Structure 1
Amino acid sequence: MGSTMTQDDTAQDAVLTLWDGPDGLHLVCAAGKPAALVGGDRGAEGDHVLLLRAVQPLVEILAVGQGRRSANIRHTATSVGEHLRVDRVVERAGLLGREVSIEQIDATTGLHVRVVLLVKDRSVRAWTEVQNGGVRPVVLQAVSSLAVSAPIGGHGSTEAVSIEGWSDWLGESRWLRSRLDSNEGLVRLDLVAHQHQDARGSRVISSAGTWSSGARLPAGVLESSDDGTALAWQVEHNGAWRVELAERIDAAGSPTLGLVLLGPTDSDHSWHRRLLPGERFTTVPVALASGATGSQSAVAAMTQHRRALRGAAEAGPWVVFNDYMNTLMGDPTTAKLLPLIDAAAEVGADVFCIDAGWYDDSGDWWDSVGSWEPSTRRFPNGGLKAVVAHIRERGMVPGLWLEPEVVGVRSPVAEELPGEAFLQRVGERIVEQDRYFLDLRHEASRKRLDSVVDRLVDDFGIGYFKLDYNVTPGPGTDLDADSVGDGLLQHNRAHLAWLDGVRERHPLLVLENCASGGMRSDAALLSRTHLQSTSDQQNPLLYPPIAAGALMSILPEQAANWAYPQPGMSDEQIVFTLCTGLAGRLYLSGHLDEMSAHQLAIVRSAVRLAQRGRPQLLRSMPIWPLGLPGWEDTWVASGLHTSDETLVTVWFRGGEQRDTLLHLPAGAITTAFPETDPENDRFSDDSWSVIRCDDGTIRIHTDSRVPQARVLRITHRSRA
């Protein structure tokens, strides 16, 4: 059953609450105005306040010949967005919650616009559909997926904090908290004195090309510094996107914050789409999740949304050993792999993944990718199949590294496929670092990749693929597209459809998402893959802020943090890198085959903890007892919280600042890792003290100046 509100009903002001409270979100349909999504507490403030704040329309559309109603360099205050009027609102129950559909019409252009809101608990997933109901083509330059007025209620930029993510190769998941009214943000302009309702600029977070998280992360949080009301957002797209934060003046002359989430745009990404009469365009999906007790409560709500987006709980093997990082580094051979396979099996790994180079006979695997046929030189006796068979004999799932979307310039596939099967600009194939890019809109490209995956699964028994992506093609392709950005968007969507096909044909296949580490860790890909390599960082001392920060945008059970213990490390160094792995989903590498029995025992205990903790990890919520880490912080901490227990990873990166205070839940504290060895008392923690203070905080002190790490377990007191 559902309900429908028609145009006649919207002749009067109406408010539909998605969820209420200080962090509430409401659909506001004011008579004679476009619909708006407004944050705040309906009960405390009343509908008149929500109507007053509804200054940012629900939809913004830039189109050639329409433009903006006031001069700015934003994607708001658009003429089409202002001219939209509600035709009807339909609400019905869905499989995972409520579905609210808002249909609006722009009489000037004839555009029919529908926004779909999928509401569950305190989160909403949304997208916008635009259909040309007129008689002339309309050239779209930008279409918002969702726009929100007063996203954290009545708290404007003077009380708002924006938590935004920065990324780089080897430096992923760096988060910065800053006030919106700081010097780089929305400074006070006194728009009212200038008789203007809108600023001309905005605070912009965006990414271009196919590395969706290559520079900025497609997720963030707005938080009120006044009462802790918070709203998390994410763009669920594997390509270009843009997010804007700006102020608009309401009817009472007060500044009201606006949040707008978009996919590719003309100004940022050379995107436009010519919409003929009757044609339809759908934006990339986005999501919001709110919390009333600070940013971590909003992230918890977004974590629940991400799990719902992925569907069923994790299945299949759990702890992965990969031969690349600080180990074989793309030079696998039978002689090198067999001892590693045996050692990985001895410590209890569930998967053994052979990384890059397995297909190359030339000694330079980078520009030879594309055929994905096993090397005969590297695997002389029985070939790669014999190595894969040994992995299975040792009780592990065999895995292979693939970079399916690229073809090296030396690969025979570069000549076998037609030119239209590759991304192009002005008639030339795009080349980056000696690689071409397959255009997955083309049937020949998709068939080629399907044949590779099916052959390796069916003939070799591969059960795990690490899907990498180390280069990016720029703004896109102009072949068979209205614009290069439009060509890229179509390719992005074809890539997702290809992954869906792989999963449908091989439901037990485990897929790892990787792009030079975390350069493409977006919700679109993460909803289709099992785990995400969080970084390529090979320095264990630099990894902790990446591992801790990854939990802001990646599910704990997907956050594959590399741990690469080595025989030349001290016990504390081995524990340090293993703690990094245990902060999410343990992802092993390292020369285990050269380790002593004692060293292997330390690794084995970490694997046991990861495997035993799998059920808790699958339902855990991330916490940051020291707040989100800075890149150079001496102490870093992140936690995985459930109703039963909380596991907290604490890293001390060395130096003179040898104590810290953590804010942790109540309960008994023990050390979960490393395990204390009663025979030699090697980890008796005489130099590492953990004390609960009278105010409930946890004081950690170490007598040593060398880097150390521990995983602490807090067992929560049972409720009466």
Structure 2
Amino acid sequence: MSETSLIHVDGTTVSLVFERTAGMPPAWRHFGARRHDVEHAWPIAGVRPHPPTLLDGDPVLTVLPTHGFGWFQQPALAGGRPAGHGDLDWAHAFCLEDVCWEPHAIVFKLADKTAMLGLTISYAIDPESDVVSAWAELENRGDVPFRVDWLAAACVPLPADMDQVLGFTGRWTLEFQEARERLGVATWRRDNRRGRTSNDSFPGVIVGTALDDDTGAVLGAHLGWSGNHTILIEPLNDGRRQLQIGEWLAPGEVVLGYGERYRTPTAYLSFGTDGLNGLASHFHRFVRKRLLAWPHGRMKARPVHLNTWEAVYCNHDLDDLKSLADAAARLGIERFVLDDGWFHRRDHDRAGLGDWWPDARHYPHGLVPLVDHVQRLGMQFGLWVEPEMVNPDSDLYRAHPDWVLRLDGRPVVTGRHQLVLDLANAAVTDYLFDSLARLLSEQPIAYLKWDMNRDLAAAGHGGRAAYRRQTLAFYRLIGRVREAFPTVEIESCASGGSRADYGVLAHTHRIWTSDCNDALTRIDIQRGFLRFFPPEVMGAHIGPFHSHTTHRCHALAFRAAVALFGHLGIEMDVRTLPTEEAAELAYWIAVFKQWRHVVHEGVLRQGNLGDSLAWVQATSADGSASLVAVYRKREDTARYMPALPLKGLLDERRYLVRVLHQPAAPHFVKKTDLLTSLAGDGVVLTGATLRESGIPLPPMPPESATVISCRAV
């Protein structure tokens, strides 16, 4: 047996192993749990029996499988030159030219000299989180333009036993819905062509052996890109599968001239053996340590919001808003966010977008009087904007109808009475930056809620599809705002959660998860979101008793218990609350403030107890404290509530366990002494007891919650 030339890159618990193969890119040997036996591996091609029906030199899965010379599965690169410029311009065969190898990273330099192409592939492991960042970059080294149809940001192998897939779908007010499927003989594929991240095809996927909460091998992949994407999982001839993830490109969207390059967005991948919660902890650590850029370099305690949308909508009156701010401050709210309706002639959603100055009818002296009032109350001031959009009924559009994305000779496509401004036009972005800079300079605005309320259609620029350049121009614009006003925090909002990804999160500090504040619906929305994003960036608001989007009605405690495990906000007219309910809301705001450091800096776990109960648990990094909520979503046939095992606490430590809230039980249910004590002064239990025996739960009617605290004593 010939000697095998292997390259391995290790994280703390993850290894990437490649084999040098003659005349080909490096072959994938392993992506998964850390390996310690790679020096004894055998050559992959040297031990495979050769069936008589296969081509000689049947290719293995490499870091860049390509079409034309025996690879019949999905290639990682597709594209070509115009007809008449050589038969080989659509078929590619790359060889390894160089390897840049570091302890936690590898960069492969590849070339196809016949096709006159160069390609760089990078995989880097963050050892603190075991998240792998991957990208690819193609260079045209020929005189004839090369059209790129597809280039995977990452192409990785999956073990044969990983046959369960967790994808994410949804719609407006029902984002991040988990869809579990079994992989079979067909290719599993999800595409997004909406021009923004979208809520019906989130750019992330999880594959595993069982997809359990706390056990089993799982691999997660996410594309950090706020535009179009493709994710595919395909069976291979050797029993494994390949996973490819990258940017979906419209025909002709990327054409490279001589010396030009196309670099993919970055894909983020991680592998773990501790189930879905273990995988989520990898992604949470990575976002916290590597991705988020907080003002002054460190996250401050996330301030409780009041957002004005469901309180006043577009009906703005200065005195009315001041009274709303007064009521908010009395409750302990820390940031007052003025939503849509404040700017020129914005009486409804059919006019005004693009005219970014205060409406003189409602704000004759600008926003300064309201901002000053809010600050005197001890709150920060935030403002809603939607810079990328314009209404046809606006001064901006009447002056510059040519500033919108369009296809020449075709009608423009409106959505929500809006058109999309062409951000690749420097005049457009200069106007938008100057408008935002004027607002941020004239008054102390601490926060922008940056919205984006429609998909891209008829999205052209200069005769080509403009999805990619629009996304890159958006990044440049928001980066320009961040550079000029580094202390301003920005929220990514797009009809709720339609622009939630690591690409936008590198420029922002919060994501508005959904326009739906219905607590029952929010349980599953937030569950899917938290698979990839930590809770401190998840906008989670307590909405009104009567839900704006579903028309369901829920008790305040249920609404609060669901919102506690994100970045808390209030989305209602708090002036209308009865005295007793206002006091209850102030109590929940105080609970959030007491526990936000645990929720926002600790380890999060989620799970189900049967089909009707869901739970979420946040535990401090040192295991000294834990906050738990259990949600009953519907009735079931069980006579008794199951106990909930609590992991993450220290076995030998003793904890004071208290029920901070439990729903009113039916009158015919008899309380036990233990449940009575838990709801009173609490009970002291060891971490081992809480892990092995669990914590008993009180009776819970449908659409209610129990909230439990554990503190070391």
TM over 0.5: yes
Task: For 2:643 and 2:192, locate their aligned partners in 1 and report how far apart those are by CA, in whole Å.
Answer: 36
1:108 lines up with 2:114 in the alignment? yes
CA deviation after TM superposition for structure 1 residue 435, in Å: 1.1
Are residue 144 (structure 1) and residue 152 (structure 2) matched? yes
Separation of aligned partners in 2, 1:709 and 1:656: 15
Using a 3 Å threshold, how does the CA distance of structure 1 residues 602 and 18 change in structure 2: closer, same or farther?
farther
User: How has the CA–CA distance of structure 1 residues 101 and 162 changed in structure 2, closer, same or farther, with 3 Å as cutoff?
Assistant: same
Distance 2:690 2:280 in 1: 29
Give the structure 2 partner of residue 387 of structure 1. Answer: 370
Deviations 1:532-560 (A, max 9, x none): 11111143332221123221122211011
- Report the Cα distance in structure 2 between the residues aligned to 1:372 and 1:685, rounded to whole angstroms: 56
Post-superposition CA distance 1:657-705 (Å, at most 9, x none)? 573453421563634744999xxxxxx9769989998982536544453
Q: Return closer, same or farther for 1:376/1:399 CA change in 2, 3 Å cut-off.
A: same
Contact 1:530 1:558 survives alignment (8 Å): yes
1:472-505 deviation digits (Å, cap 9, x = unpaired): 113731x225x41xx2101101101111111110
1:499-523 per-residue CA deviation (whole Å, 9 max, x = no partner) reads: 1111110011011111111011111
1:356 has 2:340 as partner: yes
CA 1:695–1:518: 2 relative to 1, 3 Å: closer
Equivalent runs, 1:175-324 vs 2, <5 Å: 175-180=178-183, 186-187=184-185, 202-225=187-210, 228-249=216-237, 254-265=238-249, 269-270=250-251, 272-307=253-288, 308-311=290-293, 312-315=297-300, 318-324=303-309
Which amino acid is the alignment partner of residue 540 of structure 1? A
Evaluate the alpha carbon distance shift between residue 669 and residue 470 of structure 1 in structure 2; reply closer, same or farther with a 3 A threshold. farther
Corresponding residue SS for 2:203: strand
Is contact 1:233-1:288 (8 Å) kept?
yes
Task: Answer yes or no: is the 8 Å Cα contact 1:355–1:401 preserved in 2.
Answer: yes
Q: Secondary structure at the match of 2:370?
A: helix
Query: What is the aligned partner in structure 1 of residue 22 from structure 2?
Result: 31
Tell me if the contact between 1:129 and 1:280 (Cα under 8 Å) persists in the aligned partners: yes
1:85 to 2:95 alignment: yes
How many Å separate the matches in 2 of 1:280 and 1:218? 24
1:126 aligned residue: 134
User: 1:160 is matched with which residue?
Assistant: 163
Measure how far apart 1:174 and its partner are: 1.2
Give SS of 2:321's match. helix
Task: Select 2:582's aligned residue among 600, 605, 619.
Answer: 600
Match of 1:636 in 2: 614
Q: Which residue number in structure 2 is paired with residue 192 of structure 1?
A: none
Q: Which moved more, 1:423-432 or 1:340-349?
A: 423-432
Contact 1:516 1:535 survives alignment (8 Å): yes
Matched, 1:562 2:541: yes
Equivalent positions of 1:47-86 (< 5 A) are: 47-48=41-42, 55-60=60-65, 69=70, 83-86=93-96
In structure 1, the partner of 2:53 is: none
Structure 1 residues not aligned, in runs of 5+: 1-10, 181-185, 188-200, 678-683
- 1:409-454: CA deviation from partner (whole Å, max 9, x where unpaired): 10110122361x3211125544323211111111111111111211
Shift in alpha-carbon separation, 1:295–1:572, aligned structure 2, 3 A: closer
Helix, strand or coil at the partner of 1:321: strand
Q: Partners of 1:242 and 1:468 in 2: how far apart?
A: 24
Matched residue type, 1:111: L
- When the two structures are superposed, what TM-score results if normalisation uses the length of structure 1? 0.82
Distance, in Å, in 2 between the alignment partners of 1:695 and 1:273 is: 54
Q: Which moved more, 1:430-439 or 1:460-469?
A: 430-439
Classify 1:704/1:225 alpha carbon distance in 2 versus 1 (closer, same or farther; 3 Å).
closer
Q: Percent identity?
A: 20
Query: Which residue matches 2:629?
Result: 649
Moved more, 687-696 or 119-128: 687-696
Amino acid at match of 2:469: Q
Describe the shift of the 1:107–1:361 C-alpha distance in structure 2 as closer, same or farther (beyond 3 A). Answer: closer
Aligned length: 653
1:537 and 1:285, CA in 2 relative to 1: closer, same or farther beyond 3 A? Answer: same
Change in 2 beyond 3 A, CA 1:142/1:173: same
Q: What is the root-mean-square deviation of aligned Cα atoms in Å?
A: 3.5
What is the distance in 2 between the residues matched to 1:330 and 1:654?
36
Quickly say closer, same or farther: Cα 1:369–1:20, change in 2 above 3 A: closer
Relative to structure 1, is the Cα distance of residues 625 and 619 closer, same or farther in structure 2, using a 3 angstrom cutoff? same
Q: How does 1:548-559 map to 2 (within 5 A)?
A: 548-559=527-538
Q: Distance in 2 between matches of 1:654 and 1:384?
A: 46
Matched, 1:16 2:10: no
* Equivalent residue number for residue 668 of structure 2: none
Partner of 2:379: 396
Distance in 2 between residues matched to 1:49 and 1:641, nearest whole Å: 45
Matched, 1:500 2:479: yes
Aligned to 1:197: none
Deviations 1:295-327 (A, max 9, x none): 3222211222222122443247621110113x2
- Conserved 8 A contact 2:78-2:149: no
Structure 1 residues 665-674 or 355-364, which shifts more? 665-674
My pick for the range that moved more, 698-707 or 273-282, is: 698-707
In the superposition, relative to structure 1, how do residues 578 and 130 fare at CA in structure 2: closer, same or farther (>3 Å)? Answer: same
* Structure 2 equivalent of residue 43 of structure 1: 36
Distance across 2 between alignment mates of 1:346 and 1:439: 44
Q: In the alignment, which of 579, 602, 607 is matched to residue 620 of structure 1?
A: 602
- Residue of structure 2 in register with 1:193 after alignment: none
**69-78 or 227-236, larger mean C-alpha shift:** 69-78
Do the aligned partners of 1:347 and 1:604 also contact (CA within 8 Å) in 2?
yes
User: How far did residue 528 of structure 1 move?
Assistant: 1.2
State how far apart, in whole Å, the 1-side matches of 2:27 and 2:71 are. 19
2:524 maps to 545
Q: SS state of the match for residue 83, structure 1?
A: coil
Q: Is the 8 A contact 1:561 1:584 kept in 2?
A: yes
Distance 2:306 2:658 in 1: 25
Q: 1:705 aligns with which of 669, 683, 701?
A: 701
Whether 2:343 is the aligned partner of 1:330: answer no
Q: Deviations 1:567-599 (Å, cap 9, x if unpaired)?
A: 999998111111121121112122211224432
CA positional deviation for 1:565 = 4.5
Deviation at 1:387, TM superposition (A): 1.8
Please give the alpha-carbon distance, in whole angstroms, between the structure 2 residues aligned to 1:362 and 1:107.
58
Distance 2:175 2:552 in 1: 27
Q: Which residue of 1 aligns with 2:508?
A: 529
Task: Tell me what 2:55 maps to.
Answer: none
Q: Offset of 1:21 from its aligned partner? A: 8.7
The change in CA–CA distance for 1:105 and 1:463 in structure 2 (over 3 A counts) is same
Task: For 1:441 and 1:517, locate their aligned partners in 2 and report how far apart those are by CA, in whole Å.
Answer: 25
